[in-house]
Chain A
Amino acid sequence: MLRRQFTRLLGAGAAATALPGLIGSANATDPLKVGFIYLGPVGDFGWTYQHDIARKAAVEHFGDKIKTTYVENVPEGPDSEKVLNDLANQGHKLIFATSFGYMNYVLNSAKKHPDVFYEHATGYKRTANVADYNIRFYQARYVQGVIAGKMSKAGLAGYVGSVPVPEVVQGINAFMLGMQSVNPKARMKIVLIDSWYDPPKEGDAAKALIDQGCDIITQHTDSPAPLQAAASRGVKAFGQSTDMSKFAADTQLSASTDMWGPYYIKRIGDVLDGTWKSTDTWGGFDSGMLAMSPFTNMPADVATLATATVDDIKSGKNKVFVGPIEDQSGAVKIAAGTAMDDGALSGMQWLVQGVDGKLT
């Protein structure tokens, strides 16, 4: 069915290209067509699922003023450019591309369709009609780290990652810093599985970490498999992107929850008002784009500390990456008392001391 949707869309796109007159006949009272391309299935119960919830929230908010289309399972390759072009040819005036790897294809498609607005999630390239938006996921990682520092008996946590892009590196480092803030001796191990969504491999990675003594697991991949692996081995873990407690109610400590809804509603509103501009958004707890799901399976004092940490980050009192911070080799990367700026943060390619493992 997924494939069929994909081909149907390609077919529709071809038809639309062949009949430009029909598309051009749209008038002002027609609903604004908004397109979304997703990396995974809408039911991945993680990354893509959260984007789709946000899409539905936008539909609810705007009613028949907009019409949304989504294409799921779009690989991060040349095919994505085709899908983007098709959406544009079908008259979508605003297109959200919801994964990092679409970046260059978004730019290509945007060049061909200067009258269409593009929004690219988690990237860093902008043009007149391409905006980017992202969430400060690392803030939630820091909170997870604080909880892990309190909950880990071995003082050793495991991080299931995907690919060593700055976003993942920020997450690893923020988690480590949070953990060390309550347990200076804490350490962590990492496994990168070279994929964002591959449940058996995600589960295996979690098992490998648990087998080597990690008693807290956190994941930067999109399925609940690592959480389930932790549950089967009797250690605690964090959910990713969405509240995954229904997969392992006795295991999930909390989950970083991505809240794309407010952003999508704002940007669609901007297009409707004619005030859309290419912007660079990086929202954290304070913007409502990031939240922690309920703190469960932990003593009350740990939950209180976690809540306080969220509040400190929200108010700006805790900026997470504040020196002195040393990398694995012991070199000072952030001087005492200074906070890392967003530019340096978004290019982060080194690991803090305490993390075992390399970025490969």
Chain B
Amino acid sequence: MTALLVAFLVSTIAASTPLLLAATGELIVEKVGVLNLGVEGMMLAGAIAGFATANQTGITSLGVLAAVAAGIALSMLFAVVSLTLQANQTATGLALTIFGRGFSALVGAGYVGIPAPTLPKIHLPVLSDIPVLGPVIFGHDILVYLALAILAVVAWCIRSTHLGLILRAVGDSHDAAHALGYAVIPIRYAAVAFGGALAGLAGAYMSLAYTPLWAQDMTAGRGWVAVALVTFSAWRPFWLLIGAWFFGALMYLSLYVQALGVAVPSALLSAVPYIGTVVVLVLISRDARRIRLHRPAMLGRPFQARV
């Protein structure tokens, strides 16, 4: 029984990592008042950039860097259009997702069905062999720990640093932040780039660690789940982590339950994570006050400095 539970937890943590990475990035983006719906597209760009680079060079870490760069590149496209040119953020984000899907499929056409070096799993001599806790806590690849570390830093930064205060100010009232002398647009650019970097990293996790392959649309909606997670968490890092684990478990559970021999149609089970997303969002949205309390007030609103 314990063995079953341990195995389930290990797989859940792996399944939640891409969600956590992408959602952490989007959290910062939304904190400064920008809504980037292009997460799925940036993840796919990261996935193919990482895979192609790792395949060409044989070096996984270079692949990870390339994925981050690809994520940033796409996010800058979004930033120029939506922040500088002030196009509608929702529409721009959607366009970015569509672009990322098509672009990654185009670049990736030659990379289908070939192997690439895989991100190794860490094995710590004593710690990884501790029964139960060992494999759950110490048996993953480096991106799993990196995701948690980044989230911790982000949480600390938002809550307790001067930088966090500035980010929140820009997201809650860009006019006030501007009046105080903060450069709203450059700060938003930086946040969007951070979001792109983490979405790219999430993509690299998919194509280099989770399923070390390239396949068209291999992120399968995880970018959207990540966007939903940010709302689910009401923009609070701790709940983001809980949400990522919850949805990771849900995605994995749909297959796990089948292996247990439970007779549920497989088509229904594959829909469970997405049904779960909708249900949770509906439940949360029932309390409009709670959303308004935590939601960055300027979310999705363009900023134009008044001279």
Contact = CB atoms under 8 A, between A and B. Distances in A.
B220 interface: yes
Given A200-B206, A205-B255, A44 B113 contact: yes
Contacts of B215: 197-200, 223
A179 B264 CA distance: 26
Contact of A201 (B112, B220, B256): B220
Interface in A1-47: 1-3, 41, 43-46
B114 A45 contact: yes
A247 B55 CA distance: 13
A290 interface: no
Nearest to A246: B115
Contacts of A247: 115
Interface string A212-248: 1110000000011100110010000000000000110
Chain B CB within 10 Å, residue with most, of A197, A213, A357, A360: A360
A53 to B, nearest CB: 12
Given A200-B206, A356-B261, A41 B216 contact: yes
B213 A208 contact: no
Chain A: number of interface residues, binned into ranges: 35 or more
Given A43-B114, A197-B215, A199-B211, A3 B105 contact: yes
B259 A223 contact: no
A209 interface: yes
A200 B211 CA distance: 6
B212 interface: yes
A356 B258 CA distance: 10
Given A204-B251, A208-B259, A3 B270 contact: no
A242 to B, nearest CB: 9
B255 A191 contact: yes
Nearest to B7: A211
A357 B261 contact: yes
Contact of B259 (A43, A203, A357): A357
A158 B121 contact: no
A305 B252 CA distance: 37
Main secondary structure, interface of B, reads helix
B270 A193 contact: yes
Contacts of A229: 211
Contacts of B252: 204, 207-208
A358 interface: yes
Nearest to B14: A207
Given A194-B266, A200-B206, A200-B220, A211 B105 contact: no
Contacts of A357: 258-259, 261
Given A44-B113, A360-B263, A199 B258 contact: no
A189 interface: yes
Contact of A43 (B113, B118, B210): B113
B265 interface: yes
B173 interface: no
A45 B115 CA distance: 10
A356 to B, nearest CB: 4
B265 to A, nearest CB: 5
B278 interface: no
A interface majority secondary structure: mixed
Interface in A75-132: none
Contacts of B264: 360
B7 A210 contact: yes
Contacts of A213: 3-4
Residue of B113, B265, B267, B269 with most chain A CB atoms under a 10 A cut-off: B113
B106 interface: yes
A189 B102 contact: no
Nearest to A249: B115
A49 interface: yes
Contact of A194 (B15, B218, B251, B270): B270
Interface in B214-242: 215-216, 218-220
A208 B105 contact: no
A197 B220 CA distance: 12
A201 B259 contact: no
B211 A208 contact: no
24 contacts: A1-B109, A3-B105, A41-B112, A43-B110, A45-B112, A158-B259, A190-B258, A191-B259, A194-B266, A198-B220, A199-B215, A200-B210, A200-B211, A200-B220, A202-B211, A203-B211, A204-B252, A205-B259, A209-B259, A211-B256, A214-B259, A229-B211, A356-B261, A357-B259
Closest 6 CB pairs of A and B: A45-B113, A211-B7, A43-B112, A43-B113, A358-B263, A208-B256
Interface of A: 1-3, 41, 43-46, 49, 73, 158, 163, 189-195, 197-205, 207-214, 223-225, 228-229, 232, 246-247, 356-358, 360
